Amino acid sequence: MRTPSEQPRPGGAGAARNARYARQARLPEWGEQGQARLESAHVVIVGVGGLGCPAADALARAGVARITLIDRDLVDETNLHRQVLYTDADAGEHTPKAVAAAARLHAVNPGVRALPVIADVTSANAESLIMGGAFGPPDVLVDGLDGFETRLLINDVAVKHGVALVYGGAVATRGAHGLLVAPALDGLPRACLRCVLGDVPPAGSQPTCDTAGVLGPLVAIVGSQQAAEVLRLLALRRPSRELVSFDLLAATRGAVDLAGAHDPECPCCVRRAFRFLDAPPPAASPGLCGREAVQIEAPRAGEPPDLDAVARSWAGLGSVRSTPMMARLRLEQSTVLTLFADGRAIVEGTTDPAAARALYARYVGG
């Protein structure tokens, strides 16, 4: 199983010689050796939104040498209350998130190399994007996503290649974080995301930030905790062993021991059947003939959506219509999302498959 390199990157300045990291390196358990480990490290962040932004910012400021930023989306005005790497100018110009984030990280710390990758992660490209990028395989993979299938897909990649995976989730006022896959530094079993989640929930059954809202400080806390998970592993060789969940407004907290949550029959981390990585990617047509619209095929797994529940979750987002066969959400600027009983959807108002999938993930999930 791959573990982070012990050697500093060539030409890297140790913490004792770099005032930028002096307060950090003064921690007794950190020191110059811990900082040197960061200077040789590579972290891949998939999804540079509410979670990926604070995680990337904290890691760049800490001195992680190389950070790959993978995201398919453009900066939008609705992102700005919680996605801290972006500005109003980025939203006005519809700058790709990965590009805007990389520019901001370079401004924060010119000594860190941030690589933007504008891509929609699917089973067709996940391994090449994560393991075969310009910086080489990562030491840690950070989950900044908001869709279950893509999360289980990168969990497959992490388990298959023995790369540490830091999970984070945030919706409404509830958050969670934990190191779900890690190098065997302590010799104990550890749950992967498939152990914890089991399978993909039915389409529309889980809230998203667009249907349930999200509190801005929540994503900052979860993203910062993800960064702390990364730094604890890289600099201190001390992986955490709990999946922590909390409700920020209710002031409640819980934790699951990841050794106890490990499924001895897990199809992914035990049987090594990488269902999401080996399956064909979700289909999205280049466009429907004669229409400015894209069709999104039903998810490969999970139960059919509860259309009434989906329609209720869309209340207040736009004009909503529901029948036994479909739920339709009409947003501003002539964008219409129609979800059918089998989970298939048509997104009108675009001919870009990646943009259509992004809308599906925002308003349906998955």
Per-residue pLDDT at 12? 44
Quickly state the pLDDT bin for 156 (edges 50, 70, 90).
very high
How many Å apart are CA 238 and CA 8, to the nearest integer?
A: 19
Joined together, the tokens standing for residue 217 give: 């400080």
Strand partners, 328: 321, 338
Is 3.40.50.720 the CATH classification of the domain at 15-278?
yes
Q: Would you say residue 2 has pLDDT above 60?
A: no
Per-residue pLDDT at 268? 95
What percentage of the chain exceeds 70 in pLDDT? 89
Per-residue pLDDT at 55? 98
Q: Would you say residue 285 has pLDDT above 70?
A: no
Where exactly does CATH 3.40.50.720 map onto the chain? 15-278
Residues 11-47: tens digit of each pLDDT: 444 434 478 999 998 998 898 999 999 999 999 999 9
Is the model more confident about 2 or about 295? 295
Quickly state the pLDDT bin for 7 (edges 50, 70, 90).
very low
The interaxial angle of helices 216-236 and 31-39, nearest 10 deg, is: 110
Decide if 123 contacts 277 (C-beta within 8 A).
yes
Per-residue pLDDT at 208? 77
In terms of Cβ atoms closer than 10 Å to its own Cβ (0-12, 13-18, 19+), residue 344 is middle
What percentage of the chain exceeds 90 in pLDDT? 54
What is the mean pLDDT of the segment spanning 271-300? 75
Joined together, the tokens standing for residue 75 give: 């900066």
What is the mean pLDDT of the segment spanning 302-309? 84
Is the pTM value of this prediction over 0.75?
A: yes
- Which residues form the catalytic set? 209
What is the mean pLDDT of the segment spanning 249-255? 94
How many Å apart are CA 20 and CA 18, to the nearest integer?
A: 5
Q: Would you say residue 361 has pLDDT above 70?
A: yes
Is the model more confident about 234 or about 183? 234
How many Å apart are CA 292 and CA 299, to the nearest integer?
A: 22
How many Å apart are CA 14 and CA 358, to the nearest integer?
A: 41
**Amino acid type, 43:** V
Joined together, the tokens standing for residue 116 give: 């933007």
Per-residue pLDDT at 105? 98
CATH code of the domain made up of 293-363: 3.30.310.10
Question: What is the longest distance spanned by two Cα atoms in the chain?
Answer: 67
Per-residue pLDDT at 301? 63
Sign of CA dihedral 219, 223, 229, 232: negative
Per-residue pLDDT at 282? 63
Joined together, the tokens standing for residue 80 give: 């700005």
Q: Would you say residue 202 has pLDDT above 80?
A: no
Per-residue pLDDT at 266? 95
The DSSP letter of residue 9 is P
Per-residue pLDDT at 122? 87
Residues 212-238: tens digit of each pLDDT: 888 889 999 999 999 999 999 999 998
Quickly state the pLDDT bin for 320 (edges 50, 70, 90).
very high
DSSP-derived secondary structure for 31-85: HHHHHHHHHT-EEEEE--STTHHHHHHHHHHHT-SEEEEEE--B--GGGTTT-TT
How many Å apart are CA 293 and CA 296, to the nearest integer?
A: 10
How many Å apart are CA 343 and CA 71, to the nearest integer?
A: 24
Q: Would you say residue 77 has pLDDT above 50?
A: yes
What is the mean pLDDT of the segment spanning 121-140? 94
